[in-house]
Amino acid sequence: MAERIQDASTTIGMVLYPGVTLLDVAGRYEVFARLPGVHVALLAAALDPIHTEQGMIIVPDTRFNDTAFDVLFVPGGPGQMDVIEDQHFLGYIRRYGEVAKWVTSVCTGSLLLAAAGLLRRRCATTHWLSMDLLECLGVKTVPERVVIDGNRITAAGVSAGIDLALVVVARLISEDVAKEIQLLIEYDPKPLFRSGSVRTADKPTIKRVTSQRRALQERRRAQIERIAVRLTDNEGCGD
Amino acid sequence: MAERIQDASTTIGMVLYPGVTLLDVAGRYEVFARLPGVHVALLAAALDPIHTEQGMIIVPDTRFNDTAFDVLFVPGGPGQMDVIEDQHFLGYIRRYGEVAKWVTSVCTGSLLLAAAGLLRRRCATTHWLSMDLLECLGVKTVPERVVIDGNRITAAGVSAGIDLALVVVARLISEDVAKEIQLLIEYDPKPLFRSGSVRTADKPTIKRVTSQRRALQERRRAQIERIAVRLTDNEGCGD
């Protein structure tokens, strides 16, 4: 491991935590880990196995430390609620983000970046169900799949991590390498329905999903409002 | 766990092995594990943590056993070469496949289904680099992202697992639930380039990737030719 880090010309810190969404992590990981000369560290507060959102267990390989990574990546998932008020966790996110060349997230990972003060007065995106919560933290939201503002690159929900990863590779390494990886993972998507976005899904589907997620989103909102009050330059958020 | 299986109306067996591609697994898992009334078993020959292709460790939760699953899912990855001649492994794949309502795979997982005799005289697909190898095992290949032949559903490389999963959900549960999950994982792909398929990628990219993978594919071919000879009804394969 130490040897790989030493050899690697680019280092990527992927932050893991219990309740993270597996596909948020895997989409990014599958692209980044294939890069020549790149070391991906699977960062966590402890090295214990982590139960992802739906239960599958993954194992981090690097405890939070003082390393400076070229790219910080923060995935989302319901577990984000358990770490967003953890000052030890947020402190590391903030320190990694302050020195990284690229600060990136997918899904509700951007709520964590925002809570760490890394998206202040920036444009960003998140999972469609949490766009209002990101605004609440003083972020200007943009309803795009991948949003770039300076060295901050954020992506929409879950599967958007693959698109984000290719954007980052094209900027970090080269467009040629991004194309190679896209071909290698055969990313030529053919979704069964036009139901992947609130802009294309039919209304009954949006209504059902919103209803299924209502309790979770209400818990998120109560917490985000509390955090927003603590963040400087933020005057809270209305409905 | 036993309780969850008992409560579940549908059971899905996802086969894991060392060197499996994480995104092959995660794309499917993220869709299936969200289904109400469905139990996903992460099956493996042993319960030891598994190093996936690029190194990230995942943990299976169910040892191969005599359960009958409604859906069998076999992912791909270079580790497929280490299990494709393992008769203990193949025996389980065959037995699960013979009784499952749906037999499914992504990427080079279809080589495993074929070696287990589950794709004989069927139409199927696999990762574009391995299409000739699948033919070599007596399978009629179809260059589509998802191929359905009876109760066999196979998908192209790596990321095609997400598309496959939605197809299976639409048939197994309902189109409404497939749409809900597509919206929940915000699967509204916007690939950076048109480089996800040999039908759209530019020639230099295809050439570079083919060259990078040449040694691996040659090892695969030597092994598949050996296996093809052993499979009944198969007269070997030419170049």
Interface A–B counts its CB contacts (< 8 A) at 229
Facing residue for B163 by CB, picked from A178, A191, A198: A191
Cβ contact, residue pair A33, B26, below 8 Å: no
pLDDT of A73 above 80: yes
Facing residue for A196 by CB, picked from B40, B59, B188: B188
Residue A123 annotated to the active site? no
Show the tokens assigned to A78.
Answer: 């319901």
Q: pLDDT at position A8, please?
A: 62
Q: pLDDT at position B232, please?
A: 64
Domain ranges across chain B: 10-236
Which residues in chain A have their CB less than 8 angstroms from residue B22's CB? Answer: 26, 29-30
- Closest residue of A to B191, CA-based? A163
Q: Is B50 on the interface with A (CB under 8 A)?
A: no
Q: Nearest Cα to A151, choosing from A99, A90, A199?
A: A99
pLDDT, one tens digit per residue, over A138-172 is 999 999 999 999 999 999 988 888 899 999 999 98
Q: pLDDT at position B191, please?
A: 87
Mean pLDDT across the stretch A173-190?
A: 90
SS (H, E, C) B219-234: HHHHHHHHHHHHCCCC
What pTM was computed for the model? 0.91
Q: Nearest Cα to B115, choosing from B90, B89, B143?
A: B90
What residue type is A151 in one-letter code? Answer: N
pLDDT, one tens digit per residue, over A194-215 is 888 899 999 999 999 999 999 9
What residues in chain B have per-residue pLDDT under 50?
1-6, 234-236, 238-239
CA dihedral B226, B230, B231, B236 (to 10 degrees): 50
On whether ipTM exceeds 0.95, the answer is no
- CATH numeric code, B10-236: 3.40.50.880
